[in-house]
């Protein structure tokens, strides 16, 4: 199999994380999957973005078997695999430790939808998972991280809510491509920063109305969307 295009897409998306200031040090990773081949490409564990090369990207099958790559894949690979299995409409996943989103995750607080900037990307408050128990942390931690995300989305549509905060940890976002997933991760960090400032200005600020949320989200997403240029 030739995984050149998949690895290239994954590599380019990973390079956007430091460019957009979504990561510090070697935190974070991007994965991109090919559902037809049932494989995913992901950043190798602990490799500095400044020296990362396209050939460093690791390719695995959906069972977690390495198919191509000399380096160990990201330690978060089991989380990515679990989300790809559960959220069948997504192609790419981004995990960052972007500072404002992490602040909400560490507080265990969802990011409220205070205004239209948020509503343009996310259909409601950004959810946060429950805390993981000791057994989950000590037994297959990364897989269990994926499991608590899937549990949180039991009654949520991952195509309408393309991000989540893992309690005490940080954000995951996803999308239709590597670039799209990174865009959603950037949007998440932007709305997290705006939400923090809103709370500082008015601690009891309320969420926007449902009709305004509907208007802004649905004009960009769905069958009747009219924002942007027709393709």
pLDDT of residue 208: 83
Q: Is 212 exposed, middle or buried (0-12, 13-18, 19+ CB in 10 A)?
A: middle
Q: Please give the Cα distance from 172 to 159 (Å, whole number).
A: 13
Dist. CA 148–CA 153, nearest whole Å? 9
Q: Residue 124's pLDDT is what?
A: 93
Confidence at residue 94, expressed as pLDDT on a 0 to 100 scale: 98
Closest CA to 10 of 72, 52, 50: 52
Q: Report pLDDT for 146.
A: 97
Which one, of 112, 95, 96, lies nearest residue 196 by Cα?
A: 112
Query: Which one of the listed residues 55, 61, 214, 227 is annotated catalytic?
Result: 227
- Domains (range + CATH), the chain: 4-218 (3.40.225.10)
State residue 159's pLDDT score.
94
* Phi, psi dihedral angles at 153 (to 5 degrees): -95, 15
Which residues of the chain have a pLDDT value below 70?
A: 1, 223, 225-231
Annotated catalytic residue: which of 120, 121, 123, 141? 120
Q: Is 34 a catalytic residue?
A: no
CA distances from 155 to 67, 127, 149, 150 (A): 35, 11, 12, 10
227 part of the active site: yes
């Amino acid at each position: 199999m030739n995984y050149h295009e998949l690895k290239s897409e994954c590599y380019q998306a990973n390079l956007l994380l430091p460019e957009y200031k979504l990561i510090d040090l070697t935190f974070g990773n991007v994965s991109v999957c090919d559902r037809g081949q049932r494989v995913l490409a992901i950043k190798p564990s602990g490799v500095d973005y400044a020296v990362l090369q396209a050939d460093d990207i690791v390719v695995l099958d959906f069972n977690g078997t390495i198919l191509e790559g000399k380096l160990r894949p990201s330690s978060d690979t089991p989380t990515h695999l679990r989300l790809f299995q559960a959220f069948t409409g997504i192609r790419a996943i981004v995990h960052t430790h972007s500072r404002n989103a992490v602040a909400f995750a560490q507080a265990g607080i969802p990011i409220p939808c205070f205004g239209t900037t948020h509503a343009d990307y996310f259909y409601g408050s950004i959810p946060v998972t429950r805390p993981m128990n000791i057994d989950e942390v000590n037994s297959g931690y990364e897989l269990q991280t994926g499991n608590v995300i899937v549990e949180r989305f039991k009654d949520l549509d991952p195509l309408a809510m393309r991000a989540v905060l893992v309690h005490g940890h940080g954000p995951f976002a996803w999308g239709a491509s590597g670039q799209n997933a990174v865009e959603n991760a950037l949007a998440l960090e932007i709305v997290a920063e705006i939400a923090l400032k809103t709370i500082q200005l008015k601690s009891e600020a309320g969420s926007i109305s449902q009709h305004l949320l509907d208007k802004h989200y649905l004009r960009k997403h769905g069958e009747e969307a009219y924002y942007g240029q027709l393709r």
